[in-house]
Amino acid sequence: MTDSVQLDPYEGPAGGWGSAKSLTEILLREQIPVTGGLMLRHQNKPGGFMCVSCAWAKPGKPAVFEYCENGAKATAWEVTRKRIGAEFFAAHTVTELTGWRDYDLEELGRLTVPLRWDAASDRYLPVSWDAAFAEIGAELKALDPKAAVFYASGRASLETSYMYGLLARLHGSNNLPDSSNMCHESTSVALPESIGSPVGTVLLEAFEHTDCILFFGQNPGSNAPRMLHPLQDASRRGVPIITFNPFRERGLERFTNPQAPLEMLTKSETRISSQYLQVKAGGDFGAIYGICKALLALDDAAIASGAERVLDTAFIAEHTHGFEAFAASVRGKSWDELERRSGLTRKALEQTAATYAKAKATIGVYGMGLTQHRMGVETVQALVNLLLMRGNIGKRGAGICPVRGHSNVQGQRTVGITEKPELVPNDKLRELYAFEPPMEKGLNTVEACEGILDGSVKAFVALGGNFIRAVPETALMEEAWKTLRLTVQISTKLNRNHLIHGEVAYILPCLGRIEIDEQAGGRQAVSMEDSTACIHGSKGYAEPAGPELLSEPRIVAGIAKATLTPNPRIDWDRWGGDYASVRDAIEATYPDQFKDFNARMWTPGGFRRPIPAADRTWKTDTGKANFVTPRSLSADPDTEQADPEVMRLITMRSNDQFNTTIYGYDDRFRGVKGTRMVLFMNRDDIARLGLRDAQTVHLVGATDDKVVRRVEGFRVLAYDIPTGCVGGYYPECNPLIPLWHHAERSKVPAAKSVPVRIEAASA
């Protein structure tokens, strides 16, 4: 640990001067003139480019600067002046580079030439695009289609994603895992059963009309900072914002808008949360049940006194199914159990229920704190139940609001990136392209990992991402990865997954979304879908990082042409040269969702796909919104061990990273500087386990499956979190997560409740 490591409580608000300073530092480091706000001016604007960071909604009437600190960092990271080309790879063996830190690899700058790993010299050597496509095609053709996996990280555009999904299906499988499988898949499984739509029901304007916001397990200050603007406005209107989070996240406490000069000069802050409940990791399930129980009691009291009912009985009768069974299950739970599971007091939950009971329109917001648990699906459904009790779906100012991660992760699913054939319009594909789409379920992320471990998966094509770093069970996965026959990484920057590679390995460098994309059909634009199902066009403004880069659609087209038998109905070159023609194909495949796609993609604020649940049309098995009653309230059976030394590890993001991309070693809002190897712990646990603040410790997995899981060298940091829980950063902690430790129904790795033990390092 170096001397520069500091652990100081951060006293400021989210946003504010700290944000401006942090951004300036990164612009300087990436050699982008600080006055070059020029690029950022186009960010998230109609006619501009859509941020490559998070998926938060983009308003129709944007601010002058519609970007945040982290969105600007993501832009700077992509338009950096730094480059790596053939000379760099000639100078370093791959084995040597595997010793480099994630930060140092990406700091090298943008990849500029296609590369093929050369076994004799253990180096990546430049290769022509034609030769790359030819060999990749030959390798894929030689394989049983089921042995090939086509992974997508949620950033690629709707156009690229559509082409990529078709490539996999024409090749013969539904092996299309995506980053959503590690993220909001719990949402994609939970919501269709509950309300018949797989995505959230709110639009941005709901925040202008809401009376109450229930906010579960999402950290907007770091991960969706533009969301602090509607939250700030709501708070100023006196809207209660009730937060459930084991950590006291600064962005959920107070905020200074770095783009409001008066606020900056006067250092004025807005309080964000009105009530802050530090729920135990995985305790939301119990907490939500507690609020439901208190709500039923308030309703009973209203009936007894003749006051207005607390439940929306008309809505429940007309629009829902299963209420009685759910209510009986809630009444059957004791307060003792609910307090124990949530780590919260009955009084606090009754207070939440009282606030909720008064609100005419409530939004339920959530992120990874709900989805990344063994019972992630059931927990999301419990939140929907709570909203349904007062008719809070399909009403102005109300709804369910999953905050999606990657900027187009929701859209990729919309246009066919999924391993589930039932989500694909196969009849349309048959009709349009005259082929028989594969009807067997493909592999999701966890299943792809299992297939790599057992040798049944032989080729892995990655459209973005740093898969090996993002998935659980890092140690076993890295070893197994080397046995793959073919690995193809379509990427912008060097990362660890390029260095852990297969026998035949390619790195294919692509244009980023912010760059000018000239093709045969002229300057191209792409499109993406935000967290609120609004679809936006996006046009690049920056000079491409190098003359040899190809766009993602061109790369997908290149692989497709080299791999597939020609299909007279698909002209891959035309698609790669004119993305409007891909949008026409998307519209033909999904006519209800993408009507007049090309004409509407520049609508300010985006155009919304129809979301039936938002209009109270329930596409469920019962034709109604379903109250789903769970089997038990145990959110994470593995962490509910009798042994008091087994802790629940929460793995999460710092303010200085985008997933596995590490921008820096500070986590300003949590007071951490110069390191990512900290272990956040409650003071009482530190004392109970005989440890000291700032002591060095190791973490070891606490499951009895005989696999040794271990990460060394954390520094203990006393922190205000519930006892029994500890916190650390992802991806450093990923070797501690068993592959099987995932949400039971969605297979999202349960990264927020990993059973671990703490070992003191010997002095």
Ligand X SMILES: Nc1nc2c(c(=O)[nH]1)N[C@H]1C(S)=C(S)[C@@H](COP(=O)(O)OP(=O)(O)OC[C@H]3O[C@@H](n4cnc5c(=O)[nH]c(N)nc54)[C@H](O)[C@@H]3O)O[C@H]1N2
* Contact footprint for ligand X (CB under 6 A): 53-54, 70, 106, 153, 155, 179, 182-183, 216-219, 222-224, 244-247, 249, 279, 281-282, 284, 367-369, 372, 405-406, 463-467, 469-470, 490-493, 495, 510, 512-513, 552, 650-653, 657-661, 730, 733-734, 737, 751-752
DSSP state of 178: B
The residue range among 231-239, 399-407, 549-557, 564-572 that interacts with Mo ion, by the rule CB under 5 A, is 399-407
Task: Give the three-state DSSP class for 271.
Answer: strand
Using CA atoms, how far apart are residues 60 and 604, in angstroms rounded to an integer? 4
Query: In the complex, what is the shortest distance from the CB of residue 7 to Mo ion, in angstroms, rounded to a whole number?
Result: 27
Q: Is 405 in the site for Mo ion (CB under 5 A)?
A: yes
Using CA atoms, how far apart are residues 160 and 408, in angstroms rounded to an integer? 11
The nearer residue to ligand X, 311 or 556, going by C-beta atoms, is 556
Residue 418 touches which of ligand X, Mo ion, none (CB < 5 to 8 A by kind)? none
Q: Is 510 in the site for Mo ion (CB under 5 A)?
A: no
CA 220, 224, 228, 231 torsion-angle sign? negative
- Restricting to residues 169-208, name those near Mo ion by CB under 5 A: 183
Query: In the complex, what is the shortest distance from the CB of residue 54 to Mo ion, in angstroms, rounded to a whole number?
Result: 9
Residue 390 touches which of Mo ion, ligand X, none (CB < 5 to 8 A by kind)? none
Query: In the complex, what is the shortest distance from the CB of residue 562 to ligand X, in angstroms, rounded to a whole number?
Result: 18
Query: In the complex, what is the shortest distance from the CB of residue 654 to Mo ion, in angstroms, rounded to a whole number?
Result: 15
The nearer residue to ligand X, 84 or 357, going by C-beta atoms, is 84
The nearer residue to ligand X, 244 or 590, going by C-beta atoms, is 244
In sequence order, what E strands does 540-666 have?
607-608, 625-626, 647-652, 657-658, 661-662
Angle between helix 284-305 and 376-389 (nearest 10) = 20
The nearer residue to Mo ion, 458 or 653, going by C-beta atoms, is 653
Question: Would you give the distance in Å from CA 56 to the centre of its chain?
Answer: 11
Q: Is 411 in the site for Mo ion (CB under 5 A)?
A: no
Using CA atoms, how far apart are residues 143 and 698, in angstroms rounded to an integer? 42
CB burial string 311-340: b at 16+ within 10 A, e below:
bbeebbeebbbbbeebbebbeebeeeebbe
Q: Tell me how far CA of residue 66 lies from CA of 37, 70, 222, 507, 514, in angstroms.
A: 12, 12, 16, 33, 15
The nearer residue to ligand X, 362 or 372, going by C-beta atoms, is 372
Residue 368 touches which of ligand X, Mo ion, none (CB < 5 to 8 A by kind)? ligand X
The residue range among 277-285, 355-363, 404-412, 702-710 that interacts with Mo ion, by the rule CB under 5 A, is 404-412
Annotate 193-250 with DSSP letters as a single string: HHHS-SS----TTHHHH-SEEEEES--HHHH-GGGHHHHHHHHHTT--EEEE-SS--G
Query: In the complex, what is the shortest distance from the CB of residue 57 to Mo ion, in angstroms, rounded to a whole number?
Result: 17
The nearer residue to ligand X, 246 or 399, going by C-beta atoms, is 246
Using CA atoms, how far apart are residues 625 and 725, in angstroms rounded to an integer? 35
The nearer residue to ligand X, 55 or 628, going by C-beta atoms, is 55
Cβ–Cβ < 8 Å for 528, 538: yes
The nearer residue to Mo ion, 48 or 367, going by C-beta atoms, is 367
Query: In the complex, what is the shortest distance from the CB of residue 113 to Mo ion, in angstroms, rounded to a whole number?
Result: 30
Query: In the complex, what is the shortest distance from the CB of residue 449 to ligand X, in angstroms, rounded to a whole number?
Result: 12
Residue 658 touches which of Mo ion, ligand X, none (CB < 5 to 8 A by kind)? ligand X
The nearer residue to Mo ion, 349 or 462, going by C-beta atoms, is 462
Annotate 572-589 with DSSP letters as a single string: HHHHHH-HHHHHHHHHHH
The nearer residue to Mo ion, 173 or 218, going by C-beta atoms, is 218
Residue 160 touches which of Mo ion, ligand X, none (CB < 5 to 8 A by kind)? none
H runs (alpha helix) in 396-463 = 409-414, 426-433, 445-454
Q: Which of 160, 159, 158, 137 is nearest to 148 (CA)?
A: 137
Query: In the complex, what is the shortest distance from the CB of residue 188 to ligand X, in angstroms, rounded to a whole number?
Result: 13
**Tokens, residue 397:** 């100012």
The nearer residue to Mo ion, 239 or 370, going by C-beta atoms, is 370
Using CA atoms, how far apart are residues 756 and 752, in angstroms rounded to an integer? 12
Phi-psi label, residue 571: left if phi above 0, alpha if psi -120 to 50, beta otherwise? beta
Residue 474 touches which of Mo ion, ligand X, none (CB < 5 to 8 A by kind)? none
Query: In the complex, what is the shortest distance from the CB of residue 99 to Mo ion, in angstroms, rounded to a whole number?
Result: 28
Residue 329 touches which of Mo ion, ligand X, none (CB < 5 to 8 A by kind)? none
Q: Which residues contact 515 (CB under 8 A, 6 or more apart)?
A: 78, 79, 540, 541, 542, 543, 544, 545, 549
The nearer residue to ligand X, 309 or 673, going by C-beta atoms, is 673
How many CA atoms lie less than 13 Å away from 407 in the CB half-sphere?
28
Cβ–Cβ < 8 Å for 668, 14: no
Using CA atoms, how far apart are residues 190 and 185, in angstroms rounded to an integer? 8
Query: In the complex, what is the shortest distance from the CB of residue 323 to ligand X, in angstroms, rounded to a whole number?
Result: 25
- Restricting to residues 631-690, name those near Mo ion by CB under 5 A: none
Query: In the complex, what is the shortest distance from the CB of residue 406 to Mo ion, in angstroms, rounded to a whole number?
Result: 6
Q: Which residues contact 724 (CB under 8 A, 6 or more apart)?
A: 280, 343, 647, 648, 682, 685
The residue range among 223-231, 402-410, 539-547, 724-732 that interacts with Mo ion, by the rule CB under 5 A, is 402-410
Query: In the complex, what is the shortest distance from the CB of residue 45 to ligand X, in angstroms, rounded to a whole number?
Result: 19
Three-state SS annotation for 484-538? CCEEEEEECECCHHHHCCCCEEEEEEECCCCECCEECCEECEEEEECCCCEEEEE
Query: In the complex, what is the shortest distance from the CB of residue 408 to Mo ion, in angstroms, rounded to a whole number?
Result: 12
Query: In the complex, what is the shortest distance from the CB of residue 532 to Mo ion, in angstroms, rounded to a whole number?
Result: 17
The nearer residue to ligand X, 224 or 711, going by C-beta atoms, is 224
Query: In the complex, what is the shortest distance from the CB of residue 528 to Mo ion, in angstroms, rounded to a whole number?
Result: 15
The nearer residue to Mo ion, 183 or 380, going by C-beta atoms, is 183
Task: Give the three-state DSSP class for 84.
Answer: strand
Using CA atoms, how far apart are residues 27 and 35, in angstroms rounded to an integer? 10
Residue 417 touches which of Mo ion, ligand X, none (CB < 5 to 8 A by kind)? none
Q: Which residues contact 228 (CB under 8 A, 6 or more apart)?
A: 14, 15, 68, 220, 221, 251, 255, 257, 272
Number of residues binding to Mo ion, judged by CB under 5 A: 2
DSSP state of 639: G
Q: Which residues contact 443 (CB under 8 A, 6 or more apart)?
A: 149, 175, 177, 419, 451, 457
The nearer residue to ligand X, 310 or 650, going by C-beta atoms, is 650
Q: Which of 748, 199, 168, 166 is nearest to 442 (CA)?
A: 168
Cβ–Cβ < 8 Å for 277, 243: yes
Q: Name the site residues for Mo ion (rule: CB under 5 A).
A: 183, 405
